[in-house]
Structure 1
Amino acid sequence: MTSPEAESKQEKLGEDHSKKFGMKPLLLVFLTVFIDLLGFGLIIPVLPTYARELQASDTTVGFLMASYSMMQFLLTPFWGRLSDRVGRRPILLVSLFASCIGYMVWGFSSSLIMLFVARMVAGAGNANIAVAQAYVSDVTAVEDRARGMGMVGAAFGLGFVLGPAIGGICAGFGLAMVGFVAAAFSFVDFVLTFLFLPEPPNRSKAASERFGNGPGFYWETIKEPKLKVSLAIFFIATFAFANMETTLVLLTHDQFKFTTNMNSWMFTYIGVLIVLVQGGLIHRLTRKFGEKRLIAVGLALSAVGLVLTPATTNIMVLGLALAFLAIGSGINNPSNQSMLSKLSPADRVGGVLGVGQSLSTLGRIVGPIVGAAAYQHLGYSAPYWIGTVAMAVALAMSCRLPDLQLRRD
């Protein structure tokens, strides 16, 4: 067992190394996360159309969407814990190579089975966010960590905005081309990581702290009175949003006669609005109104957006509905994450946020399956009414959240 003095000395040494690392490793990690979300954004607007071309039912489209998130649910904790033991660099390389293979399989897909394999392999590769976050923790001093994590958040937003736009351009050359372009991005990132990304000299246990807890920890966290409402909102809001995200391309194709290119620009529009809210407004809004009020507003806006989306075939109404959804999501998600981190015990923040992330991913598994099945069997508006009811339940639950703004005042 090491003494407190030895641990303090090792921590100080780690921070000294962090200060010497410079920006290049952080930029490569930024690129990795950016390409993960770029690939996700490239695929989402074209996946339902491609699946239908391969004779998939709408319900099958839901399972196809869910398969990607299922692999992330299973492998995000695994990659994170493994990187604590064997190193960040090798795990990032393996995951990037898996992503490249998954996208290549997409490009060559001629059957639904191949499409499922493509999404599951890509999901396994893109489940490296915990490793990227742990790397940032390893190579930044404490005072610079928020800036490093901010770069990871910016990569999320930028990838989700540019992915659909690039996907729409690529789709003009055939839906298979989208997979080849995503594979090319992943391969470039793999080569750059192999050539230039160093292994941190001192690895923390950052990933294990977030995902290394057993089922008992998850269950106790979910049951904890001051945490369970925020955690439930994580799942419910993501479930409702995933109902929309999975069926939106089906809806716009069937009811609005959108082309693949138009759907790609539609998702770009959603991404831009989310990034504008999360990047430019959320900090000031939180300081002024507090997390509880913002969570309620975000859920209410999302519910209105879900009601309006299938209401008419008027494109202006659709644009307004998607704006409500994007702004609502952009407000609710970071506000609830902030709420959860502040309600968590100081020595368990990482683990509790890991539970929240797992519940959110679970919503991305259940939501597409329920939404696509409802679209096929109950009608095109059914997923949106299911999502609206879910958002209304979450909104009612948000009344039980503590008002952190009053505590600060």
Structure 2
Amino acid sequence: MPTTQYSPEAARRVVRVVILALILDLLSFTMPWDFVRQEAGRVHSAPTLLSRTLECVRTLRAYLLPSTSSSTRSSASRWDLTLLGGLLASLFSFCQFLISPRLGKLSDRFGRRRVLLGTMVGNVLSALLWLFAGNFAIYAASRIVGGLSEGNVQLSIAAISDVTTPETRARSLALVGAAFSLAFTFGPSLGAYLSTRTFGKGSIVHLPSKLASAFPFLPPTIQLNSYAVPAAMTVVLLSLETLFLYLCLLETRDWKISTMPASSPSEAKSTRPSSRPVRSPAARQARLRSLSRLHLLFLFFFSGAEFTLTFLTHNLFDWSNAQNGRLLGFIGILSALLQGGYVRRKAKGASAEQTARMAMSGMQACAGSLVALALLPLVAKAKGEAALAKGLLWSAAAGLAFVSATVVNSLNALASLETDEDDMATKLEERIDKGHVLGSFRSAGQLGRAVGPLATTAIYWTVSPTAAYAVCAVGVALVVRGMRGIVRDEWRRGITFKEE
């Protein structure tokens, strides 16, 4: 496949475009979709999909946690809606698990830019479904459409991997993590503010006469849901993102960075990565499978602990949504600062071994934070230890911020490095398709995110919070052991390369 030579400045421009677009995408994603809470409060003459779903959730909650059966109606409703929100998030992640490899394969065939613009159409459609959702069924459909069309994250990682060298890869991918942290910190606040606004009395939209005459099958008036303003802002953000990508993003699939004309074999050779010895495609495929397993297992345990954190603070300290918001905001802001500062400095010119060590250090911090959370209920119940318990909570939160800043970005960088030796392959069947590989890698992580919260919540409610976090801590410790093997292998490869 022919490649196109580009300057390093063009590569930096692509990274800037991708990150700005990703921030718009994630801001639109992280606004709270309060339609479920609003719809749950309505009185319907006949059973609805939401009422049936909530009834199933109540039955599950009563089975897993019988003590909540005697709770007040408002308290029990809060449990039900929180669990339902987790189920919807798991549904979204499961859709991502299904579609990510296919989107990656399409991007290898048709290009990152074209497929990314195609997925943006699906994202806008998802937001429009939410905007005009008159019932929970349409809202759930919008989540499914959004999950099956959300390709911005994986295609952004693929595009950045296309235009960066192995030495600058981890540093650039740290910006992806920073975009996540910023969006998940400020997006919910923006959505909460917009949810207090309406389009006017009744939120009724009258179609223009010309549009109504051109499409007679459309109703002359459309009733919007009461939380349509955040949905409308989502439509605006996604539309701006689509236009921005169309105007500014270059195709990166066949990209090759060059600081000189590649007119001779020696000059072309100088553009190849020189920091790692060449391995066979079979060895690289085996490494990718190992990384995918670690990615799945880590996110299984981490996302489960992350989802139940607000349950823990509510049970132990009776924290409100605002107090939990401050805790999550602290984690997000600290994570963004770490990724924009510490992680980017450490990742500058980092070798594969150093990147693997950063991932392992984040996993070790995760295990330590989970141990702290496992001990927290025991400390909180001790007399006179309230201050110590809250100190332990905030220390664990700081550890989780470090985890968010290091692990997934480093794993993404390691996976992308295994696709950088394609030009060494002598046969077409030996080549590794970057988009498909990174899509499959993300798919594994999304499966962990889909199942982890459900499994951890079940342990949390049926056994105890201490048991749930202890299981997660042991699980992450086993993942650390697997990561240590990759660090050792990269160290040996580096020694072999130096000897050669």
Tell me which interval the TM-score lies in, with the shorter structure as reference length.
0.7 to 0.9
CA offset at residue 117 of structure 1? Answer: 2.4
Residues 185-224 of structure 1 correspond to what in structure 2 (within 5 A)? 185-194=237-246, 196-197=247-248, 200=251, 204=254, 224=286
CA offset at residue 222 of structure 1? Answer: 10
State the secondary structure of the residue aligned to 1:248: helix
Higher mean C-alpha deviation, range 296-305 or range 236-245 = 296-305
1:332-372 per-position Cα deviation (integer Å, ceiling 9, x unaligned): 33444455566778334836555433322221122122123
Other-structure match for 2:471: 386
Match of 1:167 among 169, 178, 188: 188
Counterpart CA distance in 2 for 1:77 and 1:67 is: 17
TM-score with structure 1 length normalisation?
A: 0.73
Other-structure match for 1:128: 152
Match of 1:36 among 10, 19, 25: 25
Counterpart CA distance in 1 for 2:238 and 2:491 is: 43
Structure 1 alignment gaps of length 5 or more: 1-6, 207-219
Counterpart CA distance in 2 for 1:265 and 1:80 is: 36
Per the alignment, do residues 51 and 305 of structure 1 end up closer, same or farther by CA in structure 2, a change over 3 Å counting?
farther
Kindly indicate whether the alpha-carbon contact (under 8 Å) linking 2:128 and 2:235 is maintained by their aligned counterparts in 1: yes
CA offset at residue 389 of structure 1? Answer: 2.2
Other-structure match for 1:157: 178
Other-structure match for 2:371: 307
Kindly indicate whether the alpha-carbon contact (under 8 Å) linking 1:41 and 1:159 is maintained by their aligned counterparts in 2: no
TM-score with structure 2 length normalisation?
A: 0.62
Counterpart CA distance in 1 for 2:440 and 2:486 is: 18
CA offset at residue 318 of structure 1? Answer: 1.8
User: Max radius of gyration: which structure?
Assistant: 2
Is 1:73 the equivalent of 2:148?
A: no
CA offset at residue 64 of structure 1? Answer: 1.4
Per the alignment, do residues 94 and 342 of structure 1 end up closer, same or farther by CA in structure 2, a change over 3 Å counting?
closer
Higher helix share: 1
CA offset at residue 136 of structure 1? Answer: 5.3
Counterpart CA distance in 2 for 1:99 and 1:19 is: 31
Other-structure match for 2:66: none
Match of 1:266 among 308, 327, 337: 327
Other-structure match for 2:407: 332
CA offset at residue 109 of structure 1? Answer: 5.3
Give the superposed CA RMSD: 4.2
Percentage identity across paired residues of the two chains? 23
Q: Tell me the number of residue pairs that the alignment of Structure 1 and Structure 2 aligns.
A: 378
Residues 10-409 of structure 1 correspond to what in structure 2 (within 5 A)? 10-11=2-3, 14-15=4-5, 27-43=16-32, 55=54, 56=57, 57=80, 60-86=84-110, 88-106=112-130, 112-135=136-159, 153-174=174-195, 176=227, 177-194=229-246, 196-197=247-248, 200=251, 204=254, 224=286, 229-282=290-343, 285=346, 290-291=354-355, 293-309=357-373, 311-312=376-377, 314-340=389-415, 346-347=421-422, 348=432, 350=434, 353-403=438-488, 404-405=490-491, 408=494
Per the alignment, do residues 165 and 137 of structure 1 end up closer, same or farther by CA in structure 2, a change over 3 Å counting?
closer
State the secondary structure of the residue aligned to 1:15: strand
Q: Which amino acid in the other structure matches residue 88 of structure 2?
A: L
Kindly indicate whether the alpha-carbon contact (under 8 Å) linking 1:79 and 1:127 is maintained by their aligned counterparts in 2: yes
Q: Which amino acid in the other structure matches residue 270 of structure 1?
A: I
Structure 2 alignment gaps of length 5 or more: 42-49, 58-79, 197-226, 257-281, 381-388, 423-431, 496-500
Counterpart CA distance in 2 for 1:104 and 1:393 is: 43
Other-structure match for 1:215: none
Counterpart CA distance in 1 for 2:291 and 2:234 is: 35
Kindly indicate whether the alpha-carbon contact (under 8 Å) linking 1:168 and 1:261 is maintained by their aligned counterparts in 2: no
